[in-house]
Amino acid sequence: MNLTTVDRERITDSMLKIQSARAALHEVDEEKIPHRDEIDCCLENTDHNLKIALGYEQSKGSEHDERADDPTTGHLDREWKQ
């Protein structure tokens, strides 16, 4: 299913917030946040799934180079499906 421009913007905004939260939590001592490893894993999975929704990554098992289309790494090597 194709995403509208508004859908893409909302998902992208959410993805960037998740990445920001992950980065902020890494600045706090692990011992101060119970189950931080589980929280980080959850945030990482959420980030990955939002990238799949946007078409930047494919599901696990794909042979596609995920970094090639990831805007967070500065690489956009294909056109978006609108």
Q: Provide mean pLDDT across the span 39-50.
A: 96
Query: 78 versus 69: which is more confidently predicted?
Result: 69
Q: How far is C-alpha 60 from the geometric centre of its chain's CA atoms?
A: 14
- Using 50, 70 and 90 to split pLDDT, how confident is the model at 82? very low
Cα–Cα distances (Å) from 54 to 6, 32, 50, 60, 66, in that order, read 12, 34, 6, 15, 12
Q: Provide mean pLDDT across the span 30-52.
A: 96
- Using 50, 70 and 90 to split pLDDT, how confident is the model at 61? low
Q: What is the pTM of this model?
A: 0.68
Q: Provide mean pLDDT across the span 38-59.
A: 94
